[in-house]
Amino acid sequence: EAGVVQSPRYKIIEKKQPVAFWCNPISGHNTLYWYLQNLGQGPELLIRYENEEAVDDSQLPKDRFSAERLKGVDSTLKIQPAELGDSAVYLCASSFGGGAPGELFFGEGSRLTVL
Amino acid sequence: QKEVEQNSGPLSVPEGAIASLNCTYSDRGSQSFFWYRQYSGKSPELIMFIYSNGDKEDGRFTAQLNKASQYVSLLIRDSQPSDSATYLCAEDGGSQGNLIFGKGTKLSVKP
């Protein structure tokens, strides 16, 4: 079974440019998360989806970040415009209700460098 | 604001020794705790969860929870070089799946 797929794996852009990350969760997983992980830090939740509904986006900087999950499957996270401080790894994760509590399956991440 | 505190390490232990990783949390009402392992350049993966006071064993891994002291630990017996990774402690932030992670402790097991 395929895991959580993210693309691109690496992205280098100049500040003020837009960037988008894509995530395909594990088939059948109705919950999808976007986390941000800075170097030497733990992941921090940006947004959580239950099917196509964003149920927790309280930590998403809405002035420059946006996300969508069309048809409750794939998701896209966008940053426009990017700032130097946005350089980090953006992790997508998914889970399903019948799994172990707190068991999130993470993708390999998209590493963003803003110059 | 819930917080999870971990010593960032690095923690270095010789092969075959017991590695002890510790974590404290701020919210006395927190119920569930998780240990994730993250190899360098890779994504985190769940290795254990615990929600009752006491010990929970799974192979070479033992998770310990002390709610009175707001303390969670992970013991790795017979440590192997393949256990070298960053171990992230997390608590359930109140909504299932909204995990609050600590900064992680980097473990190095020397052959």
Segment B10-19 mean pLDDT: 97
Of A45, A101, A107, nearest to B98 by CB-CB distance is A45
Which pLDDT band, with edges at 50, 70 and 90, does B30 fall under? confident
Nearest-CA distance A63 → chain B (Å): 22
**pLDDT tens figures, A64-79:** 999 999 888 999 999 9
Which residues in B lie closer than 8 A to residue A95 (C-beta atoms)? 97
Q: List the single residue in B with minimal CA-CA distance to A42.
A: B103
d(CA A70, CA B54): 43
Dihedral over alpha carbons A104, A46, A48, A94 (to 10 degrees) = -30
- For residue B1, what pLDDT is reported? 76
Residue A33 and residue A104 in contact, taking contact as beta carbons nearer than 8 Å? yes
- For residue B92, what pLDDT is reported? 87
- For residue B95, what pLDDT is reported? 59
User: Which residues on neighbouring strands pair with residue B105, listed in sequence order?
Assistant: B87
Segment B4-22 mean pLDDT: 95
Q: Which two tokens stand for residue A15?
A: 């500040």
**pLDDT tens figures, A28-67:** 999 999 999 999 999 999 999 999 999 889 899 999 999 9
Of A42, A55, A56, nearest to B104 by CB-CB distance is A42
**pLDDT tens figures, B47-100:** 999 998 999 999 999 999 999 999 999 999 999 999 999 999 999 876 555 889
Name the residue with tokens 């999130």: A104
d(CA B42, CA A43): 13
Q: List the single residue in B with minimal CA-CA distance to A57.
A: B98
Helices of type H across chain B? none
